[in-house]
Homo-oligomer: A and B are copies of this chain.
Amino acid sequence: MSELALDDVKDRLFREARTANGYTDRAVTEDVLRALYDLYKWGPTSTNQQPLRVVWCIGETAKGRLADLCYPGNAEKVRGAPAVGVFGMDLDFLRHLPRLFPHVDARSWYGDDRKLIAESAFRNSTLQAGYLIVAARLLGLATNPMSGFDEEGVNAAFFPEGNVRVNFITTLGYGDPAAVHPRAPRFDFDEVSRII
């Protein structure tokens, strides 16, 4: 990879990348969602647990159902986006570990500690969502992650099986550069980091 391309990538993924407040009309197809998965799935999780579960809403009915469970500002964003991901975490991820982490019995490390298991599912599904947000940018997409919605309502509507609970949601599409807000400030390195 040439230095020029590396610099372009830094811009695309981080330095110039922006949360979208509006999208072009270009649809997010199933092929794109599968290509996105084929990138973010490779990011690391504790004991390879991969607890993230995603319901992608691309139909108007699905988006409307989700929007009805969102706080007002977020509801508009959900209705107006090409796609919306509902990110859940599987609290029963342990049952998959013999297949996902076959070389050792990692289930015993969690024991029956429901708090530890829920915390681990929350942490690792969030990490996967972070990988997804960056991977989306690599594919030319933008996101707008959100937390303001009726959690119990979303669980009942999108994860009725009971073992999955919603973490957060995000819109997804091809960002409209004209709809971006001014960039908000970031901490300086020394305010949030120490080297010892």
Contacts and interface: CB of A to CB of B under 8 A. Distances in A.
Interface of A: 1-2, 5-6, 8-10, 12-15, 17, 19, 30, 33-34, 37-44, 46, 48, 50, 52-59, 61-62, 96, 99-102, 109, 120, 122-123, 126-131, 133-135, 138, 143, 145, 147-148, 167-168, 184-187, 189, 192-196
Given A56-B196, A196-B59, A14 B40 contact: yes
Q: Is the interface of A mostly helix, strand, loop or mixed?
A: helix
Contact of A5 (B2, B14, B58, B127): B2
B1 A17 contact: no
Nearest to A184: B48
Given A1-B9, A9-B138, A184-B48, A54 B193 contact: yes
Contacts of A122: 122-123, 126
